[in-house]
Structure 1
Amino acid sequence: MKKRKYSCGLDAAIDVMGGKWKGLILFWLADGPLRFGELRRAVEGISERMLILQLRELESRGLVHREVHEQVPPKVEYSLTDFGRSLTEAITPLGEWGEEHMERLEATR
């Protein structure tokens, strides 16, 4: 019998979203496609290099789609795939919980 990589569904979901930035990138892409610069401005505090790395990983996992428009200057847009949208739907209640309890969480930090 093949040993499973994940111990449970939460383990698998956290692996896909692990780290500080992926959830924020997914959050901002939930409203629609964004160009790289727009996404960088939206995700406060992320470096250009880190954004590139995180987008590549999200794209390799099938959560984000990268579309290059052949024009001068080049235009690249990022959007959620159906798979990525399904993840943002799953984490939306977690974000709502965070909003509801933000003051308390900040006070205990």
Structure 2
Amino acid sequence: MDDCVELIADCRLRATTDLFLHRWDPVLLAALADGPRRRAELLTAIGGISDKVLTESLRRLLANGLVARTRRGGAPPRVDYALTALGTSLVDGPLQAMGRWTLEHGDELLAAQELGSRTA
């Protein structure tokens, strides 16, 4: 974190935390953890995501080098999405840690949010 001393807003930490700003991006990464999937498979696997939001998330994840898009020949043509090595490292590291934390503290978090909404 020494690189962030002068301009904390422009540091690598901010770039990394930005990966979790969009609601569906971590969910999409988790959906790709078991291997490549097609768009239709992702829409089915991720309940509640619209086609438009899936497209936006895939574009963001592609632009960040976390997901790769592979076009396969055939009729009809097939497009698969898969985690890159960088995406896998994010899923296997911070995302898994966040999942463990959620399992351990999720009920406490929801209870605090509910209490906070009643007192606000």
* TM-score with structure 2 setting the length: 0.78
Letter in 2 for 1:75: R
Larger Rg: 2
Q: Does 1:94 align with 2:83?
A: no
Letter in 2 for 1:32: G
Letter in 2 for 1:48: D
Q: How many residues align?
A: 107
Secondary structure of 2:44's aligned partner: helix
Q: Which has the higher contact order (CA 8 A, sep 6+)?
A: 1
Residue 84 (structure 1) aligns with: 87
- Superposition RMSD in Å: 2.0
Residue 47 (structure 2) aligns with: 44
* The 10-residue stretch of structure 1 (69-78 or 20-29) with the greater mean CA deviation from structure 2: 69-78
Aligned partner of 1:108 among 108, 112, 118? 112
Q: Which runs of 5+ in 2 are unaligned?
A: 1-5, 114-120
Q: Aligned equivalents of 1:4 and 1:108: distance in 2?
A: 30
Letter in 1 for 2:26: G
* TM-score with structure 1 setting the length: 0.85
User: Per-residue deviation at 1:25?
Assistant: 0.5
CA gap of 1:7–1:73, structure 2 versus 1, over 3 A, is same
Q: Which runs of 5+ in 1 are unaligned?
A: none
